[in-house]
Chains A and B, each alone.
Chain A
Amino acid sequence: DAKTTQPNSMESNEEEPVHLPCNHSTISGTDYIHWYRQLPSQGPEYVIHGLTSNVNNRMASLAIAEDRKSSTLILHRATLRDAAVYYCILRDVWGGGADGLTFGKGTHLIIQP
């Protein structure tokens, strides 16, 4: 799977929007962009995924650059419960099948009350 680059940490205030960036300049045409997050002392949980178009769900939005070399996870109104490590992961649906996820170090999101 292609590599992703994320900032080590970010800080935001409660009830404000948060934009978490991810660079994936070597992404291939069949790579989906997935985001997972890991709350303290828990296993990772799925947040959102997309291929080319922007995606929205009840947890977040995913904005994908037109050239697909970067993406941004958007939390519209952060709460203290959103404090977690956020991982941006690429999955090749053709070559990799349902293989294991390749996690990097992710972005540690700190929410200030």
Chain B
Amino acid sequence: GAGVSQTPSNKVTEKGKYVELRCDPISGHTALYWYRQSLGQGPEFLIYFQGTGAADDSGLPNDRFFAVRPEGSVSTLKIQRTERGDSAVYLCASSFGLATDTQYFGPGTRLTVL
């Protein structure tokens, strides 16, 4: 079946602009995760949804970052007033939501802030 998809694959923006990154999880997966990966580093957890609600948003770096999942499926990560330090690959993953479940990752969105 279809895997996790993310759009766009690449996004170039200017400092101070607003961006939205989209994630389409695997159908039936109740848990959805956002991660950020800087060059040479492992992915860093940002936020986790169980259904429509954010079960854990402790990884969001500051209040410029916000994510929603209004219908419990597609999720959007929103970044306001982008900064050059926000440049990274943003990864989305989904799972059935149990603790030992495999997380399935999308290919990521490469965000570049000029």
B97 touches A98 (CB 8 A): yes
Q: Is A45 an interface residue (CB 8 A)?
A: yes
Of B33, B47, B59, B103, the most chain A CB neighbours within 10 A belong to: B103
* CB pair B107 A49 closer than 8 Å: no
With A99-B56, A100-B33, A100-B59 in contact, do A91 and B43 touch (Cβ < 8 Å)?
no
Counting residue pairs across A and B whose Cβ atoms lie within 8 Å, the total is 71
Q: Given that A43-B91, A43-B93, A44-B43 are known contacts, is A98 also in contact with B106, CB under 8 Å in the complex?
A: no
**Would you call B42 an interface residue if the criterion is a C-beta within 8 Å of the partner chain's C-beta atoms?**
yes
* Chain B: CB-nearest residue to A45: B105
Question: Are A98 and B93 closer than 8 Å at their CB atoms?
Answer: no
CB contacts (< 8 Å) of A102 on chain B: these are 45
What is the total number of residues of chain B having a CB less than 8 Å from a CB of chain A? 32
Of residues 27 through 41 on chain A, the ones whose CB sits less than 8 Å from some CB of chain B are: 32, 41
The answer for the CA separation of A41 and B9 in the assembled complex, in Å, is 11
A46 and B105 alpha carbons, distance in the complex (Å): 9
CB within 8 Å of A: which B37-82 residues: 40-48, 50, 55-56, 59
Nearest CB in chain A: distance from B89 CB, A: 9
Residues of B within 8 A of A94 (CB): 99
Q: Report the minimal beta-carbon distance from B64 to chain A, rounded to whole angstroms.
A: 19
Query: Contacts A43-B108, A45-B105; is A100 near B45 (CB within 8 Å)?
Result: yes
A residues near B (Cβ < 8 Å) are 32, 41-46, 49, 85, 87, 91-94, 96-106
